[in-house]
Amino acid sequence: MFGFLLLCFSPTSALAEDFGTTVRPFLNKYCLDCHGPNDPEANLALDGLAGDLSRQDQQKTWQKVFEQLELAQMPPEDAEQPTDTDRSRVLSWIRTNAAHAGVAMESKLDRPGFGNYVKHELLFGDSSVPPSYSPPRLWRIRPAVYHDTIHNVAKGDYTDPFTLKSAGHGFRDYANQYQLAGPDLNQLLTNARKVAGQLAELLIEDGKAQRGSRTPEQIFVLIKPGNPEPSTEEFDAAVDWLFHHVLLRDPTGDERQKLIDFTRQSMKSDGQLLGVRNLVMAVLLSPDALYRSERGAGEPDEYGRVPLAPRELAYAIAYALTDVRPDQELLKAADTGGLATREQVKRQVERILNNSKIEKPRILGFFREYFEYGQAEDVFKDPELFRSHAASVLVRDTDHLVLHIYEQDKDVLRELLTTQKSFIEYELRNGKPVKGHGGRMGDGRSYLSYNLPLDWKWTEKQPITLPGSQRAGILTQPAWLVAKSGNFDNHAIRRGLWIRTKLLGGTIPDLPITVDAQLPTDPALTLRERMKVTRETYCWQCHSKMNPLGLSFEMYDHFGRWRTRELKEPVLSEGSIDQSGDTSLDGQVDNALELVHRLADSERVRQVFVRHAFRYWMGRNETLADAATLRRADRDYVESGGSMKALITSLLTSDSFLYRK
């Protein structure tokens, strides 16, 4: 971050002498009061730090300093603050010197869940900003894409060699999140062997050699008896077939030669069949099949950026929207100069978005990972307390609501936050609506979660409209409420945390390890009363940013049912928005309904939503260098009347998407 602030500060000048003139005075001024030699806070003394990152005994300390400064968590809020420039000067010094010493400073800002630490005002203000770009990168393919690739050539079930980790409050498929290492590679090899067994299968029937049902003629030629030394042409044909089916392209001359040499040698030492299977596996396990490359190609422009290579771009577009590899049209465009301009890219993106026959699981995926309502299925509820609870049904219903709003494509965020519509026990089977059920979960009356009357009759005319005094948008859907609940209670803190980070763009530091984070369990007290323990000054610094938001949802119980009473008394649902960064938002609210309506009107909330869409579709956190992309995306969203498709199109035709530097 702070990329362009640093333009005035050349890294080459970050020599040891800068420690004396820049870093040491900074530490003295802002840190040593608390982190000096005598009884330092958190047992962290900084007075002895030398300006030498190669000293192993001090590397951990530097990492801590780096982290605290980068996230602006230190100096504490009530202490004198350094300017952004001073801060970034020290950060840059640490980074550069660490690199010289051969160690990388780990940046939390790159991790899922830390995107909000980039100041909103700097991203969306009026300041002039340079053109955007992404760093060049290798991105491990997603599990779904991997399976698609395999099923394109082979049949059967394959154990997932790698996963997308649930990353708490961040998006899952970040380019920097995943490596391929030990156990993944083991499984990849096992799977590749199974595929190779099908693609190079030799059957002997009635003494005659036959090829397996999945074995192409081109490979069969290499394995059939009586052809121990196939010709170069025969090898060429097999390598071509594999490349066309696995990597969707021609091999280069070099690739072809290397593979043929390898296969010949392996056939000699391991036998004809195993040698050919090794050829199949070598292609299946080539880096090209496991990573998507986004390195860019061609001449740098005046800002030092290079565009993605046409093939890279075709893959990037396909993977942004679908879980399958680029279709013929996209590949053709890439190979014939049809992705050279922004307008051409836009046409391809719109073609895919508007073609209902192309499945686009990435769209629903975004909303699921953003709202996190899918977690409802992970929250254990005692069936004795409410037999009709069926989390999977609730989640599916919210899926349908999200897709419905996406398809209307008008004022999407506002609709998501305020709609009274809802799908209830709704499922599509072969495109036809049917009454959904939760398998072994629930007693088949999950409509009771929405406070519908006991004698409510299922209808296929959905969505239906719920009372505006009870529901408004996703955050009042039982799926979301349950996802943000405990086993026996609402979870006002988690609800508040979600709103603080995902709508207001705020940050909450990790729970300090010294905190014993437990609420008292007295059943005679309401959650609001029990949460009073968080009012202690030390706790309240963070909890003031969550609890008043989350407590407005006390108008629902922990199964997501609207209620007016709690422990026989009228339920208290008031809350407030504070320290939002947008003064027009701050103030008391009577309940969650007023809260979500107010949030839905906010420019800041809309922009924070855009920031999250950016993260999902770029596979990384935004930096200040992305300001231009974000502003353009926000403008496109507003000018299109709140169209999600316009927002996605804007992001996928942005400089951040198209350029590498």
Partner 1 sequence: MTITRRTALKGLSLSAGGALLSPILEQIRAHAAGSAKRPPRFVFVVEGNGLPWNQITPVGINRDQKSTSLVDESLAERELPSALKPIEHYKDRLTVVNGLSGRVAGGGHSNDFGALGVHNCGSDVGSSGTPQGETIDVALGKRLGGIFTHVGLGISDRPEHNVIYNCSAWDKSKPLPTICQPMSAYGNLFGSVAGGSSKAEFNAKTNLLDFLLDDVKKLHREVPTAERDKLEAHLAGYEEMRHRQSRLNEIENTLREQAPVVNDKFQSEVETDRLDAHFDIAAAALIGGLTNSVTLASGVGNPFFSVKFTGLGIDFGKHGIGHGGSYNGMSWDEMAIKIRGFHFELIARLMKKLEAVPEGDGTMLDNTVIVYLSDAAEGHHSRCWEWPFVVLAGKHSGIQGGRYVEYPYYGNDGHREIGNLYTTLLAAAGEHRDYFGVRDAMLKGKARGDGPLPELLA
Residues numbered 115-154 forming contacts with partner 1, rule: CB under 8 A: 135-138, 140
6 binding partner 1? (CB under 8 A): no
Looking at 178-186, 210-218, 420-428, 567-575, which segment touches partner 1 (CB under 8 A)?
A: 178-186
| Among candidate residues 148, 161, 145, 133, the one with its CA nearest the CA of residue 291 | 145
180 binding partner 1? (CB under 8 A): yes
Which of residues 38, 78, 182, 233 is near partner 1 by CB under 8 A?
182
Residue 569 forms beta bridges with which residues? 566
52 binding partner 1? (CB under 8 A): no
Which of residues 12, 21, 43, 354 is near partner 1 by CB under 8 A?
43
Nearer to partner 1, 269 or 537 (CB): 269
Minimum CB–partner distance for residue 367 and partner 1 (Å): 17
Which of residues 82, 275, 307, 506 is near partner 1 by CB under 8 A?
275
The CA–CA distances, whole Å, from 470 to 358, 466, 526, 591 equal: 37, 7, 21, 10
Nearer to partner 1, 50 or 104 (CB): 104
Minimum CB–partner distance for residue 318 and partner 1 (Å): 21
CA–CA distance, 503 with 413 (Å, rounded to integer): 10
Tokens for 14, please give them. 């970050």
CA–CA distance, 164 with 157 (Å, rounded to integer): 19
* 172-183 core/surface letters (b: 16 or more CB in 10 A; e: else): bbbbbbbebeee
Residue 400 CB coordination number (10 Å): 20
List Cβ<8 Å contacts ≥24 apart for 628-632.
628/129, 628/130, 628/131, 628/132, 628/655, 629/132, 629/654, 629/655, 629/656, 629/657, 630/123, 630/124, 631/123, 631/124, 631/129
Minimum CB–partner distance for residue 275 and partner 1 (Å): 7
380 binding partner 1? (CB under 8 A): yes
Q: How far apart are the first and last CA of the chain?
A: 14
Minimum CB–partner distance for residue 409 and partner 1 (Å): 30
For residues 4 and 130, is the Cβ–Cβ distance under 8 A? yes
**Residue 247 gets which letter from DSSP?**
I
Minimum CB–partner distance for residue 398 and partner 1 (Å): 17
Looking at 187-195, 222-230, 461-469, 591-599, which segment touches partner 1 (CB under 8 A)?
A: 187-195
Minimum CB–partner distance for residue 243 and partner 1 (Å): 14
Which of residues 96, 116, 266, 446 is near partner 1 by CB under 8 A?
266
Residue located via tokens 């333009």:
7
CA–CA distance, 151 with 158 (Å, rounded to integer): 9
- Which spans in 499-643 are helix H? 527-530, 537-543, 547-550, 592-600, 603-618, 627-639
Helix/strand number for the chain, H first, E second: 28, 14
Looking at 277-285, 363-371, 550-558, 580-588, which segment touches partner 1 (CB under 8 A)?
A: 277-285
Site string for partner 1, 518-537 (x = CB under 8 A): x-------------------
Residues 6+ apart with CB under 8 A from 612: 115, 171, 370, 502
269 binding partner 1? (CB under 8 A): yes
Residue 58 CB coordination number (10 Å): 17
Which of residues 36, 59, 350, 597 is near partner 1 by CB under 8 A?
59
Which of residues 10, 163, 341, 579 is near partner 1 by CB under 8 A?
163
Nearer to partner 1, 295 or 535 (CB): 295
160 binding partner 1? (CB under 8 A): yes
Q: How many residues bind partner 1, per CB under 8 A?
A: 65
Residue 628 CB coordination number (10 Å): 18
Which of residues 382, 460, 522, 569 is near partner 1 by CB under 8 A?
382
300 binding partner 1? (CB under 8 A): no
Interface with partner 1 (CB under 8 A): 42-43, 59-60, 62-63, 98, 103-106, 135-138, 140, 159-160, 163, 165-168, 178-187, 189-190, 262, 265-266, 269-271, 274-275, 277-278, 281-282, 285-287, 295, 375, 378-380, 382, 487-488, 510-511, 513-514, 516-518
